[in-house]
Structure 1
């Protein structure tokens, strides 16, 4: 019985590893940013956290919306319909470009809110110029996402990975040169980190388009777009899938953003500890997210083939693999909870010694909780991927709202600001929301797949 699931592990990993590597690339750059910025001081680290909190909200909407392209391309690929796959990419690119520009304008419009959020004044002043440049980088990032989701829909997960790796090398190099003013470059501090991010994201778009254009297999998909011929039916289908998917990701990212803001109310050191813990948790989350993309691809393929028994078995194999991987990460966090935060801070700096020591202690407490929510977080993201593969997005959107904002956030707010738990209380709320989401999403998947099988399609 177990072998029916474990035999799928090899192919699941083959599909997911390039996705995971690409996603990890983004997080590793954030890790490098945080480590480099952390050498400047805890105020600079908190400023990057605050600036990115605005960008992450917008990014979640853009990335979430773009995921609508993958199941449409995967279903078309499973059915052998190349025209529909190209149409999904063309219309997806148009919508993602428009959305990227709208999100940029929204961030610039919302910038003054920083002064009304009860954040440390020093942190806000540092975050403002950083946010301007990182907000602009959203436009190329979301365009890249359209190409990425298309490529993954065709089960070609390695090309987005290549684009991400090259961009990350550029990003880290520019960060080193511009944050510290190395080799004669100007010393720009956290603004240098923002410039590195912007340049790297522009390169990602150029690289993935060139590599797909020059591959015979993909050339016809990514060239010869007739932008005068836009079909309302296709646009509506992508919007109907993409908007709920964007809200799902928004609801999750927004609660983590709320944790950043709540931590800022507690002070710059709790906010810095939250940023370090969130960065570490984000790295392990990318494994679950990569497996979630695999679930979306494979479930979409089986939906195109109308083989629902195989669909359910394959999905469960991905769920099982995710749980096993996340348990390993949970142990990793428990064992390294004091060592990991020390990587982000200059412990030899006598001026910041007291702040750095407090941040390490707070981070170790948060990583205790993060160790346990790894499992819930991994389960919820892969089940959500499987549901997107089924093109079921509306009910999961309500589920994620209930889990994060009716369950998780009230717990975070009360325990974080009204009890002595403070930072730990905020993260207990995150754990509660993720666990509720995982349970409810799985119940939904279980119901839908059993219904498809009993309806007698196969």
Structure 2
């Protein structure tokens, strides 16, 4: 396939995934915007709670993401039995993980206090998590089933189900946070209820689709029966992915905790800037998923040349998206931040001033964040996850977090310094992971169906 052919194939496969991630992001964005309208303290609390939940969710999410390359490789080989076995054990593992995670979500307040958060913000965040935490069970199943469908290149339905979820969440938030349409006014607790309802609706929709459109896979037939061989295979690939996710999201979570040490207003500004940066990252994440699927398909056929051309094209697309994001962040920062603040907000000018500086830093890390996401995507496609996990963890926690602390508190740069550390951590990961893929992983793949030595 030519480079142009790869670009078209990535667009057809990747655009629905990008749209799906943007719609998923809109769920968290809706919580942030509407609670920002409700009050700055609630905005700070949901920023903290969201970081805490996301850390736990993405650790378990690695088990779900592992389904994507495994299904893609099995599909390339025409092995429907392995597709069913892989997906079923992914569903098993994520629910077992959810049981473990729920305790940390329910008793989050003492953990947040031990991490140095202000008591009033920690209490509100825990109030949200005791409700929203129940959503981790349906959310992880949804993630497994979306990975299953994406691995089969059925990305359109992933998009539509996620759009449905975003609409349900927006309506639930509007009703339950503010007490509209005859519903009680529940504030931050209402946002938690809306999140759980959203995940349940998403799960019902994706299960119905899988059962009606792909009955040949019989995902839930004799679901109770263990498959320890495939359980181990999914775990072997998924655990490193989960730990890589944990390293990255906990780096951002740690940055939120550091901003909380600075104050409630800087934490609120940080929450807004993170949401805006995350919106553009959803594009890179969709491209990364497309790279995983296409690399997984090439891996199943042992076609190195096809994989190499695809990796070049998806990296180039990511760089182009980053360039556009940088321009938007540098030229429209005031307007973007204002979208999250209600008219007459007492701290509006201070949040704007801090947020504009943080968006300037976000423009810097767009390039490196996109590249490291693409590198992780292609490495997962070739089922190379253990060494990349170590590379990512070292980058995020040996380089990124210490640098954030040094720049933010020792040098006294505060929020700007915290974000400078994020740039360095992500940049280090981008270099190491790309070197891993091009220097070793792709060389292990055969060409034209002939396995490499």
TM-score tier after normalising by the smaller chain length: over 0.9
Instruction: Confirm or deny that 1:159 pairs with 2:151.
Output: no
Superposition pairs of residues 284-363 of structure 1, within 5 angstroms: 284-346=280-342, 348-349=343-344, 352-353=345-346, 355-363=347-355
For 1:402, which of 387, 390, 394 is the aligned residue?
A: 394
Q: Distance in 1 between matches of 2:218 and 2:320?
A: 38
How far off its partner does 1:242 sit? 0.4
- Provide the secondary structure at the position in 1 that maps to 2:43: helix
How far off its partner does 1:62 sit? 1.7
How far off its partner does 1:253 sit? 0.2
Partner of 1:411: 403
Whether the 8 Å contact between 2:20 and 2:163 is mirrored in structure 1 is yes
How far off its partner does 1:65 sit? 2.0
Q: Distance in 1 between matches of 2:438 and 2:12?
A: 25
How far off its partner does 1:343 sit? 0.6
What whole-Å deviation, never above 9, does each CA across 1:73-132 have from its counterpart, x for those lacking one? Answer: 100001111111111111111111111222112322443112223222321222221111
Partner of 1:445: 437
Q: Structure 1: give runs of 5+ residues left out of the alignment.
A: none
What whole-Å deviation, never above 9, does each CA across 1:360-381 have from its counterpart, x for those lacking one? Answer: 1111001001012111111111
For 1:389, which of 381, 404, 417 is the aligned residue?
A: 381
How far off its partner does 1:453 sit? 5.8
Partner of 1:141: 139
Q: Distance in 1 between matches of 2:4 and 2:326?
A: 21
Q: Distance in 2 between matches of 1:378 and 1:208?
A: 28
Runs of 4+ in 1 over 3 A off after TM superposition: 453-458
What whole-Å deviation, never above 9, does each CA across 1:259-307 have from its counterpart, x for those lacking one? Answer: 1000000000110011000001111111111011111100010111111
Q: State how many pairs are aligned.
A: 450
Q: Structure 2: give runs of 5+ residues left out of the alignment.
A: none
How far off its partner does 1:220 sit? 2.2
What whole-Å deviation, never above 9, does each CA across 1:164-185 have from its counterpart, x for those lacking one? Answer: 1111111100100111111221
Root-mean-square deviation (CA, aligned residues, Å) is 1.6
How far off its partner does 1:161 sit? 1.6
Q: Distance in 1 between matches of 2:281 and 2:405?
A: 23
Superposition pairs of residues 139-218 of structure 1, within 5 angstroms: 139-215=137-213, 218=214
Partner of 2:357: 365
For 1:85, which of 83, 86, 94 is the aligned residue?
A: 83
Whether the 8 Å contact between 2:375 and 2:434 is mirrored in structure 1 is yes
TM-score for both structures, normalised by structure 1: 0.95
Whether the 8 Å contact between 1:380 and 1:434 is mirrored in structure 2 is yes
Q: Distance in 2 between matches of 1:137 and 1:180?
A: 21
Q: Distance in 2 between matches of 1:454 and 1:29?
A: 42
| Cα gap change, 1:451 to 1:33, in 2 (>3 Å) | same
For 1:104, which of 102, 105, 126 is the aligned residue?
A: 102
Partner of 1:457: 451
Whether the 8 Å contact between 1:312 and 1:449 is mirrored in structure 2 is no
Whether the 8 Å contact between 2:46 and 2:128 is mirrored in structure 1 is yes
| Cα gap change, 1:16 to 1:222, in 2 (>3 Å) | farther
TM-score for both structures, normalised by structure 2: 0.96
| Cα gap change, 1:261 to 1:29, in 2 (>3 Å) | same
Partner of 1:244: 240
